Structure 1
Amino acid sequence: MGPKDENLEIAKGIYWVGVVDWNLRDFHGYATPKGGTYNAYLIVDEKITLIDTVKAEFAPEMIERIRRIVNPSKIDYVISNHVEMDHSSGLPAIMELAKDAKVFCTKHGKTGLNEHYGAGGCRNWDFEVVDTGYELDIGSRTLMFIETPMLHWPDSMQTYLKGDKILFSNDAFGQHLATSVRFEDEVEGGAIEDAAIYYANILMPFGSKVLKYAEKIADLGLEFDMIAPAHGVIWREDPSCIVEAYLRWAKREVIPKVLVIYDTMWNSTEIMAKEILEGVREGGVEAKLFHLRKNDWSMMLKELMFSPVIALGSPTMHGTMFFTVSGFLTYLKGLRPKDKSAVAFGSYGWGGGAVKGVEEMLKSSGFDITEPGLQVKYRPYEDDLKACRDLGIRLAELALNKAN
């Protein structure tokens, strides 16, 4: 890739100067099998402006990209849309070069940056605290800031380039996707599915905030010709498609589908899971089967986002649920899925405990438990298999009712 591509001009005088992390496979527990990017954007105007930075380990690569366009010491303004370290930990390296640059961020952003980098000289930076509607003249262009608290940190904000109608959206509308192209319309098959996985694992708990954000954008009368997130590719051909998708996801729209999720020790719980799956299929509804040690939880969460009903199965081990089931439920609880129904199932030997524990954790995560859990001793026989299949049929009916 030559210098022209590495310093991609996304609009006249506006450059992508981020980095591609081809080997990223885990983002604080969220699996990223396609890698990722940390996007930063440089606007060359009377006031040279950098929007966001990258992870500290990639700061030299970002700085080299900037250097091919302008001397980094000439940067006048740095916009910090978000304190999280994948966006801000490259900031000290930039400020070491651009010593006179002013840093623009929210009130919470200033507090967070000081707490993270104060010992490294952050307290000597020239901060300008901004809020929604604050406008910054950089010469021939004007930036406007939009506070987006809890999308997905208290300090989060976005930067809107008036006239060009470009939204630098930070974590909203992003994807974890490493690619040599920079625009969504250049990605084979598009990036909506990757955006859905990203939303399910990062922004699902904040659906109400997404809806309030949409109201704020409408009140401000903003239109987008391009949406440039901090992760993944840029939306330019039809930016409204990702905005509309976010609204659907935030409204928790679902389809008739049942997920059967389980782990197993000696296959009894797996036999039950497959019979429940067959019952769902017999009931005329799509079903998907996920073994917790053979499927990635992050990808499963995208399926869960569109599924109104799950069946979760566990064998009993040491008087409680299997450790992977417990871990998955802990992961699930943090994402706070809403309007979901569930049933627990499982097997045990000389003593039970798993099904009750699964039910309790599902309830504490906000799931509606549709009926008492189904459990078998040692292994399922003919009557047990029929009970599993009948359960699947009932879950299919429930999924149809919830999706209509």
Structure 2
Amino acid sequence: MKTEIRPGIYWVGAIDWDLRDFHGYTTPKGSTYNAYLIVDEKVALVDTVKEPFKDELLARISEIVDPEKIDYLIVNHLERDHFGSFAGVMEVAKNAQVYSGTMGRKGIVDVYGERWPVTAVKTGSTLSLGKKTLRFIETPMMHWPDSMMTYVEEDKVLLSSDAFGQHVASSERFDRDASFDPVAEAKTYYANILMPFSHLIQSLLSKVPELNLQPEIIAPDHGVIWTDPGKIIEAYGRWSRFEARPRVVIAYDTMWGSTEKMAHLLAEGVMDEGGVEVKFFNIRKSTNSEIISEIQDAKAVLLGSATLNNGIFPPVGGFLYYLKGLRPQNKIAMGFGSFGWMGGAVKEITARLKETDMEVLDGLEIRYPATKAQVEQCRETGRMIARKVKGGQ
């Protein structure tokens, strides 16, 4: 079913109810691939959908106009979930002209050669459809080199590509109608996809007045459309600055339960101090994306591992690799763990944490079984972490 966002601007995307993984980011609620049709004296399609959903896209377009009458295909982003149906659409819209950013044009030519002429646009370039004007904003590395946004000036609609999205399959198209919390879903999306590009997002947000963008609607390429854009723009400001809440995330894996006991003792210590929230995860029983979402605005991260072959337990090693790639900042981090006859896990956790931009404390490692003094040491370490989170010593 077609959805009109503003007069002459339609959502014509596809709903992927079955998607459960996106680049290793767990997506238990599926996703949408949003594409937008703008009908004026000329007709423009902004983005396509993942290739298996091409017929769904064309069917929605056909409710509004004959797809052969598309004059322009705007490519905001070359990732296959938005670009996968490009060739299929172009075979139908045989006379369509293609517009993309400088890097977008290069990518299209790399894949398809000169099969179709592609016009490269830069920030500030415009395209008139008649009464509606499209203005383009290049946003390289947010999150691919080719990324850009398209702004419909007269309607104040920002077609924002992957920025401001959420991975949720939903029958609702707008934030005001959502049966879920769109900001919470956007936070999970940001933490697992856009966190490494936070400095670029800060730069873009600071340039919004200079770019004369005053969006009344933000329409991303995934999830619901924002009719209250101030709410998500403000949230992106907080997330990109790594503003942290008084929260400690404790994530661990255990072999025979000793490291798990340490995790509980650390949590008890944090809670004893008061005023600091604890989020607690067994890495093998939780998803990386769930844990990262909580780390996004936490002040401290404690990672625990049993020792296996003088090193980290494999699930913890995998999580650390995932965490490092997202480059969290403005956080306290510490490793902990226990061992039976020879340690090594905590030393390795500490070394890997130091490859991030977090403040890394000396780790806590205990040989099983823990003595009464070591039990108290775990609790006191939790109290110390809580005091640091609250700004004390």
Normalising by structure 1, what TM-score?
0.95
The whole-number CA distance in structure 1 between the counterparts of 2:389 and 2:95 is: 59
Moved more, 254-263 or 375-384: 375-384
What is the aligned counterpart of 1:389 among 366, 379, 386? 379
Question: Residue 21 of structure 2 is aligned with which of 20, 26, 30?
Answer: 26
Q: Distance in 1 between matches of 2:233 and 2:27?
A: 23
Question: Can you list the C-alpha shifts for 1:3-53, whole angstroms capped at 9, x where unaligned?
Answer: xxx111111111111001011110110011111000001111111100000
Structure 2 residue runs of 5 or longer lacking an equivalent are none
For the pair 1:144 / 2:124, whether they are aligned, the reply is no
CA distance in 1, matches of 2:136, 2:207: 12
Q: CA deviation at 1:216?
A: 2.1
State the 1:379 CA deviation: 2.6
Give 3-state SS (helix, strand or coil) of 2:357's partner. Answer: coil
Structure 2 match to 1:400: 390
**2:223 matched residue in structure 1:** 232
The Cα offsets for residues 104-162 of structure 1, whole Å up to 9 and x where unpaired, read as 101100111223x32xxx52212110001001000111000011111111111000001
Residue 275 of structure 1 corresponds to: 265
- Farther-moved stretch of structure 1 (341-350 vs 276-285): 341-350
> What amino acid sits opposite 2:279 in the alignment?
K
CA distance in 1, matches of 2:138, 2:119: 14
Name the amino acid aligned to 1:305. Answer: Q
Structure 1, unmatched stretches of 5+, are: 1-5
Secondary structure in 2 matching 1:152: coil
**Cα deviation digits, residues 277-334 of structure 1 (max 9, x gap):** 0000001111111100111110111110111111111000111100011000000010
Show CA shifts across 1:234-278 (max 9, x none).
001x21110111011111111111111100010000000000000
Q: Does 1:64 align with 2:55?
A: no
How is 1:282-293 mapped onto 2 (pairs within 5 angstroms)? 282-284=272-274, 285-293=276-284
d(CA) in 1 for partners of 2:21, 2:181: 22
Matches within 5 A, 1:181-192: 181-192=172-183
Residues 1:241 and 2:241 aligned together: no
Alignment of 1:36-185 (within 5 A): 36-115=31-110, 117-118=111-112, 122-185=113-176
CA distance in 2, matches of 1:204, 1:136: 32
1:367 matched to 2:362? The reply is no
CA distance in 1, matches of 2:106, 2:313: 42
Query: What is the CA deviation profile of residues 193-242 of structure 1, one whole-angstrom value per residue up to 9, with x for unaligned ones?
Result: 00000000111111111111112221022211111000000001x21110
Which sits farther off after the overlay, 265-274 or 254-263? 254-263
Other-structure match for 1:334:
325
Mapped contact 1:272–1:380 kept (Cα < 8 A): no
Secondary structure in 2 aligned to 1:310?
A: strand
Superposition deviation, residue 103 in structure 1: 0.7
Corresponding letter in the other structure for 2:350: E
CA contact (8 A) 1:355 1:373 kept: yes
Partner of 1:309: 300
Task: State how far apart, in whole Å, the 1-side matches of 2:369 and 2:200 are.
Answer: 46
Deviations along 1:64-117, one digit per CA (max 9) or x if unpaired, are 1111211111110000000111110110100111122111101100111223x3
Equivalent AA in structure 2 for residue 228 of structure 1: A
Provide the residue aligned with 1:3 in structure 2.
none
Deviation at 1:189, TM superposition (A): 4.6
Alignment match, 2:188: 197
Q: Structure 2: how far apart are the matches of 1:89 and 1:380? A: 55
Q: Distance in 2 between matches of 1:194 and 1:15?
A: 23
Q: Give aligned-pair identity as a percent.
A: 48
Separation in 2 of the partners of 1:275 and 1:286? 15
Q: Give the SS at the match of 1:78.
A: strand
Letter in 1 for 2:18: N
- Please say if residues 280 and 393 of structure 1, whose CA atoms lie closer than 8 Å, have aligned partners that are also in contact: yes
The whole-number CA distance in structure 2 between the counterparts of 1:343 and 1:42 is 49
Q: Name 2:255's counterpart in structure 1.
A: 265
Native 8 Å contact 1:15 1:41 kept in 2: yes
Whole-angstrom CA distance in 2 between matches of 1:58 and 1:96: 15
**What is the alpha-carbon distance in structure 2 between the residues aligned to residue 107 and residue 149 of structure 1?**
10
In structure 2, C-alpha distance between the alignment counterparts of 1:176 and 1:189, rounded to whole Å: 12
Aligned residue pairs: how many? Answer: 392
Contact 1:148 1:156 in 2 (8 A): yes
Contact kept, 8 Å, 2:166 with 2:222, in 1: the verdict is: yes
* More divergent stretch after superposition (189-198 vs 377-386): 377-386
Distance 1:192 1:243 in 2: 10
CA distance in 1, matches of 2:43, 2:229: 26
CA RMSD of aligned residues (A): 1.3
Contact conserved, 1:184 with 1:191, CA < 8 A, in 2? yes
- Could you tell me the TM-score, scaled by structure 2's length? 0.98
